[in-house]
């Protein structure tokens, strides 16, 4: 049994004060969730990490960063290192998000350096992969995902994979209101699992969590999350409101 994972990626939203208000309300709501069947995570902007850590207190909320550099320190203006994140108690990070790939031109080689650095520092990584609309329309989507995973995970051994969650986020579904159908998403998740069987082994392919991202909302979450190979969701817009994010979390429980 793979434990479900629901993450909220806030992107460039919320000041520390707004983050505090969200967390106070959200932590109250998730107190009602019993057992260990779901990991619940928030990925606020760097400036809000401290306040989200502080106000999540002893709750089950995992707090992670949306990006990081691969070096520990140095002349990299505007960057944040794994050592800095660790110093505020953060050891989860999203890497390879499509906005990093497309807007900030991050290459597979750079993402691979970041994944390696994250694992060396004992981080858990949400590794995002996804094809553009044009790539899907021209039937290149499987090749694109294969290329991203093989390059981003180059030189990562089976042990490292224990700390990786894969997020399949089709670029055309992010922030557009166009969700992949549960069937399309399931088909890609199954393909990714088969890839892991080839890249690693069947045990790892069985265990690796593959979550879906792209316009997940309370109204469509359940139809995606009931699929056998969809182990959770990475939520953008709908994670900005404590009630709608909680409803998505709840849809894996009931
Ligand atoms: P939306 O849920 O806003 O489409 O964003 C998805 C996403 O990019 C999560 O990382």
Q: Read off the pLDDT band of 1 (50, 70, 90).
A: confident
- Could you please report the per-residue DSSP string of 108-128? HHHHHHHHHHHHHTT-EEEEE
The CATH number that applies at residue 164 is 3.20.20.70
Ligand 1 proximal residues by C-beta, below 6 Å: 9, 97, 169, 174-175, 213-216, 234-238
Residue 15: Cβ within 10 Å count: 12
pTM exceeding 0.95:
yes
pLDDT tens digits for 103-135? 999 999 999 999 999 999 999 999 999 999 999
Domain that holds residue 176: 4-253
User: Would you say residue 254 has pLDDT above 70?
Assistant: no
Contacts of 223 (CB under 8 A, 6+ apart): 182
Is the separation of the CB atoms in 171 and 140 below 8 Å?
no
| Nearest atom of ligand 1 to the alpha carbon of 94 | 10
Is the separation of the CB atoms in 135 and 141 below 8 Å?
yes
How remote is the CA of residue 216 from the centroid of ligand 1, in Å? 7
Number of domains in the chain: 1
How remote is the CA of residue 10 from the centroid of ligand 1, in Å? 9
């Amino acid at each position: 049994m793979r434990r479900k994972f629901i993450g909220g990626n806030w992107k460039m939203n919320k000041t520390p004060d707004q983050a505090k208000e969200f967390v106070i309300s959200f932590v109250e709501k998730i107190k009602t969730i019993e057992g260990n069947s779901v990991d619940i995570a928030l990925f606020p902007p760097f400036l809000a990490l401290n306040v989200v850590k502080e106000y999540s207190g002893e709750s089950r909320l995992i707090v992670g960063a949306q990006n990081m550099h691969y070096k520990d320190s140095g002349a990299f203006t505007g960057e944040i290192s794994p050592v800095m994140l660790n110093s505020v108690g953060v050891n989860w990070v999203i890497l390879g998000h499509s906005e990093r790939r497309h807007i900030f031109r991050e290459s597979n080689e750079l993402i691979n350096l970041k994944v390696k650095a994250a694992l060396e520092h004992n981080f858990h990584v949400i590794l995002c992969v996804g094809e553009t609309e044009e790539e899907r329309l021209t039937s290149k989507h499987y090749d694109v995902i294969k290329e991203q995973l093989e390059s981003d995970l180059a030189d990562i051994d089976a042990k490292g994979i224990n700390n990786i969650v894969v997020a399949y986020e089709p670029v055309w579904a992010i922030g557009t209101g166009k969700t992949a159908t549960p069937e399309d998403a399931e088909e890609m998740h199954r393909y990714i699992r088969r890839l892991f069987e080839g890249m690693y082994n069947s045990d790892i392919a069985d265990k690796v969590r593959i979550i879906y991202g792209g316009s997940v909302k309370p109204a469509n979450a359940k139809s995606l999350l009931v699929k056998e190979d969809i182990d959770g969701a990475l939520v953008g817009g709908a994670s900005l409101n404590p009630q709608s994010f909680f409803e998505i979390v709840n849809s894996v429980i009931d």
